[in-house]
A and B are shown apart, each in its own frame.
Chain A
């Protein structure tokens, strides 16, 4: 099975945001980056499917030069090769632009299965996998918690809301968006890291003239919706004060 896994490089969870001068994007130079967590689960699922059914895993990312770091990491975890749609602007682009760029680079590869995370930890559109399916002319299913593949067909477990699930069958080729927690992630071994150095990262330019369908006017820090009473002091002092307020003000105890 020829499997593509789309991964995105996003700021780390610990990163404290700072805005650029026009307040339309973050200060990229301050951020530290990592592989988008749901994409890491998609990669793991791709590697497991390859181990079971044979074939290859190709990781694909649209991002600036620094995104090569997450592709290298994916190669170290076991992916066979990588495609990097390199563009300095595309890291902040919308899902329309990103999927056009990815589809242009991926179409000729004729993948059997394309996996993405269900959404990204940066802009969080939850659109990329589904639009990519449309652009590649493949069927899709989203928020997947289990993948069974046999005889050119898939049977996948889709998560619904409130603890419900549903099995969905479809033919390959297909696109799946993967839910976090579908599997246990593996980490790169030293051997994997060494092997990754010899693996190919094919760089592709983004097609010219892609036009976004949305624009960020402004980024802000969220306003506090409620009046949160912050309780200061050392641990004992804060604990005492919290319990007092919960008893006397909130009557929650």
Chain B
């Protein structure tokens, strides 16, 4: 049996959960797929998940699971997983997953393969593809030791609409858990946004984004001119915002905004996974980077391997014609 742990917040399902269910269905090859949904009150979300063609949706409900804490989730899920005894436990590679699954896998003494993009049969077992070395290489990894094996899948590893729906809703059951509040050592406060987003990059038709290759804050002026020439909004990869060269609200990627404009021009961005997940849905992607092997070129439609300090001025001149 393959068990997917879905994710919800305040009764809203994280849509990456559908992607992971789709992968579980593709992996299953005859074995049943079950979906577990942990939280304080998950009835409506469980019903929503029951639309998928799965053997069962399992509610893991306890008042101590709301709000989310890694201690609470580890206690509840280690008990339920022990009871259900799946072969694989699959999760979307979200920030929440990263926060508790290593602890859960360690507590159960089981393998955890993170941030996977694909699976394939390999000598009777399954091997999982995951990026390594900032996406410069892809590893085929096999989990070892006793089942269950925990595997997390990168956001976008499958399409949410690839989920096979059932003819009738799947059975929804509840597995009782006990979680002692006293055993939870983290006291979380309510989530908040730093400042109201002044720029909504998701609405921009064209975006010019700049990365480490720009080298200094002074050189941002050049990127601004490129953006102006394209009639585009200026955005950046994380390191530029970390350095304070551009405000955080202009950051594209898993910790910033997710965009899918008509045109995305990546200037001096190598293309770490965290950046790619925020922009790979763009219709046309242009990458300009000195390193011809940079991962950004894997998602680009048009690439120029060269010095951006030579190409950018030429591009501004050409667009001005």
Q: Taking beta carbons and an 8 Å cutoff, which residues of A are in contact with B?
A: 11, 13, 16-17, 19, 26, 95-96, 99, 121-127, 130-131, 133-135, 139-143, 158-171, 179-181, 184, 211-226, 228-231, 235-236, 238-240, 242-243, 245-246, 250, 252-253
Contact = CB atoms under 8 A, between A and B. Distances in A.
Interface in B292-309: 292-293, 295, 297-307
A121 B133 contact: yes
A139 B185 contact: yes
Interface in B95-149: 95, 98-100, 102-103, 105-107, 110-115, 122, 127, 130-145
A160 B137 contact: no
Contacts of A236: 314, 317-318
B137 A222 contact: yes
A212 B144 contact: yes
Given A143-B98, A242-B315, 18 more contacts: A124-B273, A130-B99, A161-B95, A162-B256, A163-B194, A168-B187, A170-B185, A213-B110, A213-B143, A213-B145, A216-B141, A217-B142, A219-B138, A224-B298, A228-B302, A238-B304, A240-B318, A242-B286
B71 interface: yes
B314 A99 contact: no
7 contacts: A124-B273, A126-B115, A163-B249, A180-B242, A228-B297, A239-B314, A252-B283
A217 B140 contact: yes
Given A139-B186, A236-B314, A181 B138 contact: no
B312 to A, nearest CB: 9
Looking at chain B's contact residues, the main secondary structure is mixed
A167 B191 CA distance: 7
Interface in B252-269: 254-258, 262-263
Nearest to A95: B102
B29 interface: no
B305 A230 contact: yes
Contact of A168 (B145, B186, B292, B302): B186
Contacts of A16: 136, 291, 293
B176 interface: no
Contacts of A179: 255
B189 A168 contact: yes
Contacts of B47: none
Interface residues of B, number: 94
A166 B188 contact: yes
Task: Kindly name the residue among B187, B243, B292 whose own CB sees the greatest number of chain A CB atoms within 10 A.
Answer: B187
A121 B64 CA distance: 35
A223 B256 CA distance: 27
B238 interface: yes
Contacts of A126: 98, 102, 114-115
A225 B248 CA distance: 29
B303 A230 contact: yes
Contacts of A141: 70, 99, 186
A220 to B, nearest CB: 5
Nearest to A133: B103
B193 interface: yes
Given A214-B111, A224-B298, A142 B99 contact: yes
A213 B144 contact: yes
Given A143-B95, A168-B186, A242-B304, A221 B299 contact: no
Given A126-B115, A228-B300, A165 B192 contact: yes
A229 B242 contact: no
A246 B206 CA distance: 12
A130 B188 CA distance: 17
Contacts of B305: 230
Given A17-B136, A126-B115, A221-B137, A134 B103 contact: yes
A161 B134 CA distance: 20
A95 B141 CA distance: 14
| Smallest CB-CB A-B distances: 8 pairs | A181-B242, A139-B185, A239-B314, A130-B102, A213-B111, A127-B102, A252-B263, A235-B310
A161 B255 contact: yes
B70 to A, nearest CB: 7
A229 B304 CA distance: 9
B304 A124 contact: no
B239 A135 contact: no
Contacts of B212: 13
Given A127-B102, A250-B284, A226 B299 contact: yes
Contact of A213 (B112, B286, B304, B318): B112
A146 to B, nearest CB: 11
B319 interface: yes
Contacts of A134: 102-103, 106-107
Interface string B68-100: 001100000000000000000000001100111
B51 interface: no
